[in-house]
Amino acid sequence: MLRDNLNRMISFIKDNMNMLEIIIKKYEKAASQEKEILLAAMERKAEECVESAIKINQHILEERGKIADSYYSSFIDLNILKIFDEKLLSNLAKTAGFRNRLAHEYMDLSEEVTVKTIRKILKLYPKYLLKIADYVNK
């Protein structure tokens, strides 16, 4: 049951990542009045990706008898699996901070930083998903 839920969340993140790829390409070509709508869509999809990854992390950590102190540490604590390098975990953990800013400080986010961070998510999360899917399905 847990493995099925984790695989469902992994698929959800993959679907959101595909949507993010499509939206960011449209954003890059869009007229300025359309960019605001596309930016909001990207922010939502990025937040869903990070939130789902955090849930996956928490389930895996709980299964190992560990409770993460924060969303940030839910990534860092995955080092107990010995399948991630520390740099990747550190970069993934930073996406939890971005998620918090999206959820709580959305009026203060710069468009440039938001787009840059979403591009980082698009590079980092496929690596995360590969390792997590391998772990879940072993």
pLDDT along the chain (138 residues), means of 10: 90 98 96 92 94 96 95 96 96 87 69 91 97 94
pLDDT of residue 105: 65
Would you state the pLDDT for residue 98?
83
The pLDDT of residue 100 is 67
pTM of the model: 0.92
Per-residue confidence (pLDDT) for residue 138, from 0 to 100: 87
Query: Are 13 and 52 spatial neighbours (Cβ–Cβ below 8 Å)?
Result: yes
The matching CATH number, chosen from 3.40.50.2300, 1.10.540.10, 3.30.1330.10, 1.20.120.580, for 2-136 is: 1.20.120.580
Please tell me the predicted confidence (pLDDT) of residue 2: 77
Q: How many CB atoms lie within 10 A of CB 115?
A: 18
Gap between the Cα atoms of 116 and 95, Å rounded: 12
pLDDT of 99 reads 74
Tell me how long the chain is.
138
Residue 32's Cβ-count burial label (10 Å; 0-12, 13-18, 19+) is exposed
For residue 106, what pLDDT is reported? 60
pLDDT at 1: 67
| Helix intervals (H) in the chain | 2-29, 32-63, 71-76, 86-104, 111-136
